[in-house]
Amino acid sequence: MKIKIYHKPTCSTSRKALKMLEENNSDFEIVKYYEERFTKNKLKTLLKKMNLEPSDLLRKKEKAYKDLDFKNQNYTKDQIIEFMVENPDLIERPIIEIGEKAVLGRPLENVANFIK
């Protein structure tokens, strides 16, 4: 089954995950989610496949996270997903998807265990 990696080329962890897929001779497709933006439905599907809540996928060190004052706001799951769709910097990366399963590739050991 073909693997999809939701990838940001400027992210070192994402590049390392991509290299891991290449070294494993995996059959994969790269989705540059800054160019091909996530839809709300796609993010919801990936979250379900990873068994994560939207808040689990937030990059808490990003300026957008601080600007939206997540620490002091009680955003709904749908609002968080909408913020991530509008601003992909908020999304942890990379995400690796195989069929009905997906994993957040941070830490990288998640990728190694997932593609075995």
Q: pLDDT (tens digit, 0 to 9) for every residue of the chain, 116 residues total?
A: 899 999 999 999 999 999 999 999 889 999 999 999 999 999 999 999 999 999 999 999 999 999 999 989 999 999 999 999 999 999 999 999 999 999 999 999 999 999 88
pTM over 0.85: yes
Per-residue pLDDT at 114: 93
CB 47 within 8 A of CB 21: no
**Per annotation, catalytic residue among 1, 6, 9, 11:** 11
Per-residue pLDDT at 31: 97
35 labelled catalytic: no
Quickly name the fold that domain 3-114 has.
Glutaredoxin (3.40.30)
